[in-house]
Amino acid sequence: MAGLHDIPSSAGILDRRAVARDCWPGGTLDVWLGADPPMPERVFWPEDDAQIAEVLREATATGRAVVPYGAGSGVCGGARGRPGAWVLDLKRFDRIGPVDPETWTVEVEAGVNGQRLEDALAAAGWTLGHSPSSILCSTVGGWAAARSAGQLSSRYGVFEDMVLGLDAVAPGTGPFCVGLPGPRSPERRAPDDWLDLLLGAEGTLAIVTRVRVRVRPLPAARWLRGYRYADVPTALDAMRRLMQAELWPSAVRLYDPVDTFVGGRTKPKPEHASGSDGTEAWWRAWLRAVDALPEVRRRTLALPLALPRVVQRLAEGLAGGCLLVVGWEGEAATVEALSRHGHALLTEGGEDLGAGPGERWWASRHAVSYKLMPIFERGGFADTMEIAARWSVLPRTYEAVRRAVGETALVAAHMSHVYPEGGCIYFSFAGRGDRDTYDRTWRAALDAVLASGATVTHHHGVGELKAPWASREVGPAVAGWRALKAELDPAGVLVPGRLFVEVPFEPPPDVGPPAPRDGLLELAPGAPVPPEAAWPWESLPPARYARSPWQTGWIEVRGTVDGRPCALGRGPRSATGPDLRGWLAAHGRDVRVTVGVPPEGPRAMGRVRVPAPWAAARDLLRADLRPGAVGVEDGWLYVGFRGPAAEDLLRLATRVLPGLEPCPWRTFPLAAGPLEPCAPDDPRAVAATSEHVFRRSNR
């Protein structure tokens, strides 16, 4: 067994400084104002699971805190240094396995840089489809830790939708695997339901070392377009209808009037990144001019940022309408059909701006973070906050946060990562660059989010910044995390003081039952999922590896723990730390679950008799078609599509399933599990995803 001294490490100042700060703007502000970052004691670069286990064993024995580190791209302080701590820098976990062409999966180690992964996959004709704006500076392990979401999440899913299995090392158990195992997985296999608890745990439960993820062939076609709407509520409604029509765009991004105006986003794509082609925003040109005067430059923003309300009103007065960018990608025929129907829907209330705004966004989609530094340099701070809520709550949250933040900072917002049930609002704010203003702004913002009934994080994680608010939101359901923590990290050495902290109990806000436009159905305690649900599971939904990314299980789960009420899933994606909805459903009392329901509208179904129906269903999914209903009965495979494109999609399905004959619409209960992969032609098969065909399991 490796001893601690055999593990590459450094106690040098340079290496410790490098991992002392992640990309949390609060930490950046501190450094900019002259403070030293919180210095850990030593950095380890483990190269295998055994070395991680050894570091954790020694840390547990000596009571030393351990902070895992990938690329430090987190913006909530989750990976920042901690005085006296040991840092596990995982970048030597850098292997990218070959894509398995049989199962469309690949195993990737935690330290792999996102762009490097995407480049390697693209060279072989594949894509993960995970495209966060941080892709240049983040790692796969970080994506797992914070439950990252990419800009194409509407099509490919968020990161936990892509993970079929993972390996991890915990102080209490040593190495183990969960979900579908891989070729180098440890022997110890943990229960499937740990998968939802480890993803998003931000290293507080275990160190994730490798993941097995879904991949898809590179898209053959891409379609991008911009639309102008008069105001945010009108545009939000268009987004909602687009998603509930099951048109599955790859990207949906709404910029509010201030963001649209300040970003100059409706203009065509600039030919030069420098902006010297005449399309440069006036304010950027002005800032460029003062750059020549360093003393002036340091104070350029001091006055406007000291008067946020005045400047905000000015910007809102100058702004005119908001921009929605929508895109589709995938198989050419599918993209054509979906975008044609999507375009018709979006132009009902929006003005078509052509391809320019979409292409402009695509060209700069990974460059957003470059805009923050100049604000710090000019005497301000800039930060972002992503929250999520159901459709009926989103407008309320949008206004509440703008009102709260507007006291101390300028605020703009865009809405991306949308789902049939709701979406994410991504606020950007800038204020005067002092720590007090920064802290007051965040406190006001997060208090407003919680009070409005939204969730405090969507894809940035919790870290140190949001820990008190995340703990208030999760409430007594934190017991689910604590129970696993006691088993995996009994001494509490992993990332103490982040993610969840002790806070006084407060009941969840009463946001009332779902509105009709939310596309949600609240089930009575213990009631089965009804056939009219979007995904009528037989019982609790199966592990993520046994369902497709868009096949949601539950949206909200409410219940009581130790007599105290809690509500999880206040947004369409419960991303405040680990997904504890399953734990609450299993361990809470008076549990009420909401599930998605599709609106009334066109339906088209066909059936075909084939020798291995679930293998044929997998082929259909691989052909870039997403049936809203699928089932097998008496040797017939039934596939159905919902929404305005249903007839077109059924027609496309006949290319994959020759002989598909139209039949009346019906729904099928979806196998809930437990399930395990089986041979595609296994007669016991009961379900399929793009990767596997599944049969029931005794596990």
Partner 1 sequence: MSVPRLDGIETCALCPRLCRHACPVAEGTRREAAVPALLAETLLAWRRGRVSDEVAREAATLCVDCGACQRACHLHRPLPGLLREARTALLPEPAVAPLGHVEGDGELVAVESDERRWAEALAARLGRPIARLRTDDFLGAALRGFPGWEARAARLRERFAGRVAVVADGASAGALAEAGVQVRWLDDLLPDLAGGRASCARGGEDCCGGAWPFSTHHPEDARRMAGRWAAAGTDASDARCAGWLAQHGLPARDPIHRLLEGP
Binding site for partner 1 (CB under 8 A): 12-15, 17-19, 21, 23, 28, 31-32, 34, 36, 43, 45, 69, 71-73, 75, 89, 91-92, 94, 111, 113, 115-116, 134, 136-137, 273-274, 364, 366-367, 369-370, 372-374, 376-377
Q: How far is the CB of 68 from partner 1 (least distance, A)?
A: 13
Q: Give φ, ψ of 464 to 5 degrees.
A: -90, -35
Structure token pair of residue 315? 């910007």
Q: Are strands 86-89 and 66-69 parallel, antiparallel or unpaired?
A: parallel
Q: How far is the CB of 6 from partner 1 (least distance, A)?
A: 15
- CB closer to partner 1 out of 249 and 380: 380
Q: Are strands 221-229 and 207-214 parallel, antiparallel or unpaired?
A: unpaired
What is the per-residue burial (b if ≥16 Cβ within 10 Å, else e) of 537-549?
Answer: beebbbbbbbbbb
Q: Are strands 221-229 and 564-568 parallel, antiparallel or unpaired?
A: unpaired
Q: How far is the CB of 115 from partner 1 (least distance, A)?
A: 5
Query: Which of these, 197, 146, 205, lies nearest to 578 by C-alpha position?
Result: 197
- Identify the helix (H) or strand (E) that includes residue 170: strand 163-170
Q: How far is the CB of 203 from partner 1 (least distance, A)?
A: 16
* d(C-alpha 421, C-alpha 503), whole Å: 30
* Contact (Cβ atoms closer than 8 angstroms) between residue 556 and residue 388: no
- CB closer to partner 1 out of 157 and 380: 380
- CB closer to partner 1 out of 372 and 597: 372
Question: What is the dihedral sign for C-alpha 569, 574, 580, 585?
Answer: positive
Q: Give φ, ψ of 336 to 5 degrees.
A: -60, -45
- CB closer to partner 1 out of 45 and 614: 45
Cis ω before 132 (30° cut-off from 0): no
Q: Report DSSP letters for 94-154, one per residue.
A: --BPPPBTTTTEEEEETT-BHHHHHHHHHHTTEE-----TTGGG-BHHHHHHHT---TTHH
* Contact (Cβ atoms closer than 8 angstroms) between residue 110 and residue 144: yes
- Identify the helix (H) or strand (E) that includes residue 13: helix 13-18
- CB closer to partner 1 out of 19 and 415: 19
Q: How far is the CB of 467 from partner 1 (least distance, A)?
A: 21
Say how many C-beta atoms besides its own lie within 10 A of residue 576's C-beta: 30
* Contact (Cβ atoms closer than 8 angstroms) between residue 227 and residue 347: yes
Q: How far is the CB of 224 from partner 1 (least distance, A)?
A: 20
- CB closer to partner 1 out of 273 and 515: 273
- CB closer to partner 1 out of 17 and 343: 17
Q: Are strands 86-89 and 42-44 parallel, antiparallel or unpaired?
A: parallel
- Identify the helix (H) or strand (E) that includes residue 65: none
Which residues have CB under 8 Å from 466's CB, separation 6+? 76, 446, 456, 457, 576
Q: How far is the CB of 480 from partner 1 (least distance, A)?
A: 32
- CB closer to partner 1 out of 30 and 579: 30
- CB closer to partner 1 out of 21 and 573: 21
Say how many C-beta atoms besides its own lie within 10 A of residue 149's C-beta: 28
Query: Which of these, 245, 270, 100, 114, lies nearest to 181 by C-alpha position?
Result: 100
3-state secondary structure of 604: strand
Place of tokens 């399991």: 697
Q: How far is the CB of 316 from partner 1 (least distance, A)?
A: 28
Q: Report DSSP letters for 473-499, one per residue.
A: HHGGGHHHHHHHHHHH-TT--BSTTSS
Q: How far is the CB of 12 from partner 1 (least distance, A)?
A: 7
Q: How far is the CB of 369 from partner 1 (least distance, A)?
A: 4
Q: What is the dihedral of CA 9, 11, 12, 13, to 10 degrees?
A: 130
- CB closer to partner 1 out of 64 and 365: 365
- Identify the helix (H) or strand (E) that includes residue 240: helix 232-244
- CB closer to partner 1 out of 137 and 205: 137
Q: How far is the CB of 162 from partner 1 (least distance, A)?
A: 20
CA 459 to chain centre: 4
- CB closer to partner 1 out of 137 and 580: 137
- CB closer to partner 1 out of 426 and 481: 426
Q: How far is the CB of 10 from partner 1 (least distance, A)?
A: 8
Structure token pair of residue 362? 């695509």
- CB closer to partner 1 out of 120 and 409: 120
Q: How far is the CB of 116 from partner 1 (least distance, A)?
A: 6
Q: How far is the CB of 282 from partner 1 (least distance, A)?
A: 19
